Chains A and B, each alone.
Chain A
């Protein structure tokens, strides 16, 4: 409570003197160049990773929607064409009626 720099006995002044000592240790540690470098590096890393995530997200969106518009109808139509061809082949083989062909099917 009171700012008394009396040594010994009461915890408060000791604490005060101890906190003063601690603050000086902590202050020394936190103002040391290693810690500040580390903090700067951590901040940089989060900044870069946020930007990377955002630009990857943008690229993924552009690639995904372009793929959806250009490629998906093509795949669907080619699949349908193949099914249609198989159906025609099946019908042609049925009408031609070779028994081995129907056995294979």
Chain B
């Protein structure tokens, strides 16, 4: 009884703590997830990285912070063709990579035998400011590009500024509005193609479900909904509509995370069914199977692989 504090936005009498949980505390909202990861739960279920051929990845840690990775890939690769049929050419490459991971600094580099180099840097300057850079160099002319991002994380908002080669500038901002809802927007300007765009996004998240929506002036309207049915199973569905090219795609998928394996499957309105299975054979040894069937184009892709470390 003594020391009864008048109720304010941040102090609550002990007997009414349950009610206060329902009443949102607008001064203490959680930090939202970054703008580019808005659809991350839906993408995890609905866009498994299906590949065709054999894939073998070996990661060896030399130190607590430093590790090397070797990767072999053999299989057909699709090349874009003007005609309706897909043209596949058998390719094979070996990729060598080095990773340095520190609490504040992360450096990742990959070099491939077909002459491509891929480098990523993530540097946490302070608790709130992060610099990220991503570069891809290639032998072919005009196919190299790089991007630098500056991220600032506030108490309940995140903002990002990005610059890329070919005079690409972009900025995005996302803010938590209530405990479950966060709204954001982005603008970009591509100098070389003389294009600019603006987009808005919203994300509503509870313990059991995540619903996101995104509209952009490039004509894309994307909605997605992920429901966590139990701790092992989640179902996702996605709807994408381009109001400039009048293109509609919808897909439904599931994600089962069991103790020995992780199985993802999806089916599309373009007549495409895909499945991706990662099975844990042993400690640090994963076996991967991937299948993708496109009934409309009659294109069938199956791949298998092994990941060590």
CB within 8 Å for A66 and B263 given contacts A74-B256, A77-B258? no
- Min C-beta distance of A56 to chain B, whole Å: 16
Q: Mark A66-80 against chain B: 1 for CB-CB distance below 8 A, else 0.
A: 100110011001101
User: Which residue in chain B gives the minimum CB-CB distance to A58?
Assistant: B295
Q: Is the CB of B258 within 8 A of A81?
A: yes
The size class of the interface chain A forms with chain B is 10 to 19
B-side contacts of A66, CB under 8 Å? 267, 273, 293, 295
Q: Is the CB of A70 within 8 A of B273?
A: yes
Interface status of A84 (Cβ within 8 A of chain B): yes
Number of A-B contacts (CB under 8 A): 42
A-side contacts of B254, CB under 8 Å? 74
> What's the Cα separation between A77 and B233 when bound, in Å?
13
Q: Is the CB of B273 within 8 A of A69?
A: yes
- Min C-beta distance of B270 to chain A, whole Å: 13
Q: Is the CB of B263 within 8 A of A73?
A: yes
Interface status of B261 (Cβ within 8 A of chain A): yes
- Min C-beta distance of B236 to chain A, whole Å: 14
B-side contacts of A78, CB under 8 Å? 256, 258
Instruction: Please pick, from A62, A65, A70, A80, the residue contacting B265 in the complex, using a CB distance under 8 A.
Output: A70
Interface status of B192 (Cβ within 8 A of chain A): no
CB within 8 Å for A69 and B275 given contacts A62-B295, A74-B256, A77-B256? yes
Q: Is the CB of B259 within 8 A of A73?
A: no
User: Which residue in chain B gives the minimum CB-CB distance to A62?
Assistant: B295
- Min C-beta distance of A62 to chain B, whole Å: 5
Q: Which A residues are closer than 8 A to B by beta carbons?
A: 62, 65-66, 69-70, 73-74, 77-78, 80-81, 84
User: Which 3 A-B pairs give the minimum distances between C-beta atoms?
Assistant: A70-B265, A66-B273, A81-B258
Q: A66-B267, A77-B256, A77-B260 are in contact. List 6 more A-B contacts (CB 8 A).
A: A65-B295, A69-B291, A70-B273, A73-B277, A74-B263, A77-B277
